[in-house]
Amino acid sequence: MTHDQFGGLTGWDFEGFHNGGDTELWRRLGSKVVTVHHPERGEVTGVRFAVWAPNARSVQVIGDFNWWTGDSLHLVPGSGVWATFIEGLGEGTLYKFRIETADGQWLEKVDPMAKFSEQAPANASIVYESKYIWSDDEWVARRRQAKAHAEPMSIYEVHLGGWRKGKSYLDLAEELVSYVKWQGYTHVEFMPVAEHPFEPSWGYQVTGYFSPTSRFGKPDDLRYLIDRLHQAGIGVIMDWVPGHFPKDDWALGRFDGTALYEHADPRQGEHQDWGTYIFNYGRNEVKSFLVSNALYWIQEFHVDGLRVDAVASMLYLDYSREEGQWVPNEHGGRENLEAIDFLRYVNRHLYEREPGVLMIAEESTSFPGVTKPVHQGGLGFGFKWNMGWMNDSLRYLQLDPVYRQYEHNLLTFAMVYQYSENFILPISHDEVVHGKGSMINKVPQDDWRKFATLRAFYSFMWSFPGKQLLFMGCEFGQRPEFNESVSLEWWVSELWGHGGLQRLFRDLNLTYRANPALYELDNEPEGFSWINADDGGHNALSWVRHDTHGNHVACVTNFSPEPLEDYEIGLPAGGSWEEILNTDAPIYDGSGEYGNLGEVHAVDEPWGHWPARANVTVPPLGSVWLRRASGQ
C-alpha cells in the first residue's frame, strides 16, 4: 500500500487525534476531495475516505459509485484509522461505511465526520466541499475585540423549521434577517442545526455532528444565512450537544461493534431519561472529535458562540439516577471528573483560538464556578443560563395578583446570587412545551390583564441585570405551545394585544441598546441599586441601573392591577428624569391613561439611602423606565 493510496495520510497524521490534541479533525477524517500523484499518470483527483474503527476486522466504503457493493479501506499503520483513495469521485458522491466487527458481523454506518447528509429518513453521507466566499470580515474582526459582558445582548431563540414552515436557509437569509433586525435583537440562537433523523427531537439527538441538517438546504446555504446575519449586525449562537447522542444503529453508537464513542458500562454510558448514549470524555479520541466539532462550527461556519446543552447531565455521575445505578469517581464523589476536564479543555481552547467567541452553559444546578476562568479553577464558560431566575419569575407570573404579595421574594431572590456567575436570563423553548403552556396562557385572568402583565414582565426582565433570551413566538404572545410541525401563528400579530406586545419588544431592544446603564455593568455590583426591594404590599419593585459614565436608568414595575399614583421613590440625583418607556402606552395596546407626561422631576431631598426623591405614576400591571443623563 503506497502513501498515496491512503489519499496522502500517514500514521503521523493521527498522533494528535490519539493524544486528544488534534482539534481540526475534519481535515483528516471523513471524505475529502484530494489530488494525489499517480506513478504513471501524474496528478489524479478523487475522494479520500478515512474512518476511525480500531476494533474492526475490515472496513469498506459503499456508495452510488460502486452500486453499494463495497470498496475496501486499508488500515493506516499504527492509527486505528482505515483509509482509501478512489479516483474519479467528486462532490455529491453518496456513501456509507460497512464495518466488519471482531465477531464477523457487518454494520452499515454513516460517516461520523460527514459534512453533508441525505435528508431524513434517508441518511447516506454526501461528499461536500465548501466553495463559499465570506463577506463578514469586518464582523469577525470586531468579534475578536469584543467585550461581551459589557455589551448589549438580547437573543432571539429560533427553531428554523418552525419559524415559518417550509422556508430554506436561503429564504431565511431574507425573511428572518429582516425580521430580527426590525425587532432589534443583537443575536439569534439556533436550536441545533446538526443533522438529526427525528424532527420532534428539535435537533438535540444528533447523528451528524459535522453535517448541517439538509432539511433547509446545503451547508453553503447555511453559511450564506449566517453571513447575511453578520452583515445585518446580528450575532449567531448555535446550540451544541456534546452531552449525549442517539442509539440509531447506523450512527455513532457501537460504531465498530464496540463502545467506541460512548462508555461501555450502562451506568456511565446511557441516559435513561432520554434513551441515549453518553460520550466517553476520558477517551482522547472522543475529546479530539468533540473539541474539533466545536471549533468546526466557529471556524467553518463563522458561528459566534455555542450554547452547550444539558451541562448538568455532564457534570454529575448520578444525574437522574437512583442509588446503585451510577459509578462514583476515583475520590468516591458524584462529579464526573472526565467531563469537567473536557469542558475546561473545550472552553479554554476555543477562547484561545477564537477570541470573542461566546461559550454559554445551560446548567441548572448550583455547581460552583461555571463562568470562572479555567486558570482560576472554573469551568471557563463565558455565560450561564440563570435557571433559578427563570423558575422563580415564572412561578410569580402564574400567581393571581392578590397572592403575589406573599411570594414577593420570588422576584428579588436572584439578586442574592447575581454576581456569582455571568448570567443570561432565559425564556426559552423549554418553557412553552410539554404541557407547560404558552407564556400568555401562564398568566391568570382576562386578556387585558394577560397582555399588560406580559408587557410588565418583559420590561422587568429587560431591565434586570443579565443578558436576555426569548424564544420565537413569545414576542407576539402566541397562544398555543410550540409545535415544530407547524409555523408560528404569525397572523395574530395583526390583532389587538399581540401586535402591541410585538411593538413593545422592538422598543425594549432599541431602548436597551441605546442605554449602556442597562447592560454595561451586568456582572458588577456597581451596576445595580435597589430603590425598593420590599414593597410586596403593592406588588412593586424598583431599582436603578448605572453605567461607568454616570448615566442612570430607574426602573419601576407594578405587578398589581391597581395603578401606583404619586408613588414615591428615591433617586441618585435631583432634576429632570425622562420617561423612556411606559408599557401602558397606546402603541403597545395599553390604556394610555397612566404616565408621567414624558418626564419626572426629582427634588434634592433624601429618601432612604438616596439623595433625591420623586413621585411617579406607574400603570396597573405596568412598567416605567426613567433616564437621567450624566452632566444634567
Q: Which of 362, 421, 475, 520 is catalytic?
A: 362
Distance in angstroms (rounded) separating the CA atoms of residues 202 and 193: 9
Q: Shortest CA distance to 317 belongs to which of 339, 349, 295?
A: 339
Backbone angles phi, psi at 577, to 5 degrees: -120, 120
3-state secondary structure of 481: coil
What cell does 546 get? 448605572
* Annotation marks residue 323 as catalytic: no
Q: Which of 189, 220, 262, 309 is catalytic?
A: 309
What cell does 99 get? 464495518
Distance in angstroms (rounded) separating the CA atoms of residues 613 and 616: 10
Is there a cis peptide before residue 121, judged by omega within 30 degrees of 0? yes
Residues found in the chain: 632
Pairing of strands 208-212, 194-195: antiparallel
Q: Is 476 in contact with 499 (CB distance < 8 Å)?
A: yes
Distance in angstroms (rounded) separating the CA atoms of residues 194 and 301: 12
Distance in angstroms (rounded) separating the CA atoms of residues 515 and 508: 11
What cell does 317 get? 455521575
Rg, the chain, Cα only: 27
Cβ atoms < 10 Å from Cβ of 128: 24
User: 17 Cβ partners below 8 Å, 6+ apart?
Assistant: 25, 28, 29, 52, 79, 81, 284, 285, 288
DSSP structure class, residue 67: T
* Annotation marks residue 407 as catalytic: no
Q: Is 538 in contact with 558 (CB distance < 8 Å)?
A: yes
Q: Which helix (H) or strand (E) holds 87?
A: strand 81-87
Q: Annotated active-site positions, please?
A: 309, 362
